[in-house]
Chain A
Amino acid sequence: MKHEKEVDEMQGRTESELDALLESSEQISIHRLVASLKDEPIDLARRSRLNERVLQMAHRSERRRKLFRIWSPTLGLGAAAALTLVLIVPRQASVTVTNGAQEAAIATTLKDDSVAKDVEGAGVIDMDAEQESNAEAFTKNADRADDGQ
């Protein structure tokens, strides 16, 4: 658009005005700069190198396409196997808010056992196991009573 506007402006000028513009100092300095540029012949070796690079890049992308064709089923199988493992393997129980009573009871039971075994060694006898018989007998008797009814 801007270029068309400039052309229109130029067409509106007289020949003498255009000559004056061509002889302006700016136009002369640009003319000198262009004239000072050397004429370079086209570097065929460089073009050849560029062509080689383009060929190499084409080969590389072809190789990538082949690798992708080979690996994509393998990656798919791997992803499927990982998903299967995630589904089969028992999962960590979800984080839950508890009042801590159960955790405290477990921690105490395990610590007590560890200390007792550490200190007493061969001597440690689970004295609660002696009372367990009473609980067992009570359960059995209750079962019998239930059966009798």
Chain B
Amino acid sequence: MSCRPICAVFATLAFASVGSAQIGNRAQLATAPDFLRNALNAGGLSYTGTRTVEFLTGQRWRTHTEYVTHQGARTRIEVAVARGKGPVAVEDGTQRWEYFPGRNEIEQLPARNDDSIRRLAGQVASHIRERWTIGQEDGGEVAGIATKLAVFTDRRGVVRERLYIDPQTGMILKRIVYDLAGAEKAGFRYETIDYTASIPEQAFALNFPGAKVVTVHERLSRIQRRLGFFTNRLRSSRYRLDSVKEFKAGTENGIAQFYSIGDRKFAVVQTRGPLDPGKLRQLSSPKTNVYTCQRNGETIAIVGEIDERSLEEISRDLTQVNP
């Protein structure tokens, strides 16, 4: 007896709430300051610039510089490296290609385009709902442009985010994100920005002769084989595989498959050995739910800000595919 049709109905019902949530978000965002609303609608800009990105991974700060070219839905980002070529990412609004010179491969992924702006809009709406304070200040100059600063303070009085916005264009020129305790955990800052630069058409094409193109699914299979895992993944095309990452916990390896369905994100994690879902939930962000199951001796955890029943429905779509 196959339970897939029933699962599909359950999953559809579970995610049907996304649409109504978006309508709710629009109502919340209508109360946000004008310059902030402009920033959340500034996806169609054209510019070139240089930005420094910093984020904390575990206990270590990672910093890199990017050369950014953006035109409408299209983006090119080159990572600056000390010597030789660095990775390059290009997006055309629907697809994304990441070139890794070290392995001379181009990885094909779904586009992220204005995903971060969309997620930011959702977060701002949620902050307004949760009665965070949105302060407006003079942000000073960033990349030679006078900015307006939006400061998000939670109900405990802890500053959780700062956005430095160009009030003329709505461009977010600097962003600092803080953790629950108010310590900085990630951010970026544009060093230069040029809204008038002419952008050649070939800026959004990758031309690396001899580079092999691999899809994100192929890369997942490769990592699974290399680390000795079964080729478990979600079968339904409703779940979009956005990226894959391997990680290490002591001597054990694990694989995180990052999926999305509409605006919702979740991860399917493959590990070996026992896993305590309660502990994982405790260590994750507050709204996170965890569902774990066993497949072929592997422990699979499905983790996301989605109710546990939907996570369980997702687990039923797990299939071992032939790579």
Contacts and interface: CB of A to CB of B under 8 A. Distances in A.
B117 interface: yes
Given A109-B247, A136-B103, A102 B273 contact: yes
B119 to A, nearest CB: 6
A95 to B, nearest CB: 7
B316 A127 contact: no
A123 B250 CA distance: 30
A139 B222 CA distance: 12
Contacts of A91: 293-294
Interface string A69-106: 00000000000000011001111110111101111111
Given A98-B274, A106-B247, A106-B303, A93 B66 contact: no
B116 A120 contact: yes
B318 to A, nearest CB: 8
Contact of A100 (B57, B243, B279, B284): B279
Contact of B177 (A90, A93, A119): A119
Nearest to B285: A111
A130 interface: yes
A128 B77 CA distance: 17
B79 A90 contact: no
A106 B269 contact: yes
A107 B267 CA distance: 11
Interface residues of A, number: 51
B98 interface: yes
The prevalent SS among residues of B at the interface is strand
Contacts of B249: 101-102, 104-106
Nearest to B57: A112
A113 B89 contact: no
A48 interface: no
Contacts, number: 193
Contacts of B4: none
Interface in B92-111: 96, 98, 100-105, 107, 111
Nearest to B119: A118
Given A89-B316, A96-B274, A106-B301, A121 B117 contact: yes
Contact of A119 (B96, B175, B245, B285): B175
Interface string A41-57: 00000000000000000
B256 A110 contact: yes
A121 B293 contact: no
B258 A122 contact: no
A135 interface: yes
A120 to B, nearest CB: 6
A29 interface: no
A131 interface: yes
A107 B280 contact: yes
A134 B36 CA distance: 44
A102 B250 CA distance: 8
A141 interface: no
B83 interface: no
Contacts of A96: 274-276
A123 B316 contact: no
Contacts of A92: 277, 291-293
Contact of A121 (B55, B116, B177, B285): B116
B177 A123 contact: no
Interface stretch (B10-18, B22-30, B182-190): B182-190
B77 A113 contact: no
Nearest to B255: A109
A114 interface: yes
A49 B3 CA distance: 56
A130 B102 CA distance: 6
B177 A117 contact: no
Contacts of B75: 122
A126 interface: yes
Interface string B107-127: 100011111110110010000
Given A104-B249, A116-B55, A125 B276 contact: no
A80 to B, nearest CB: 12
10 contacts: A89-B3, A102-B254, A103-B275, A104-B283, A105-B249, A105-B250, A107-B283, A122-B116, A123-B89, A133-B102
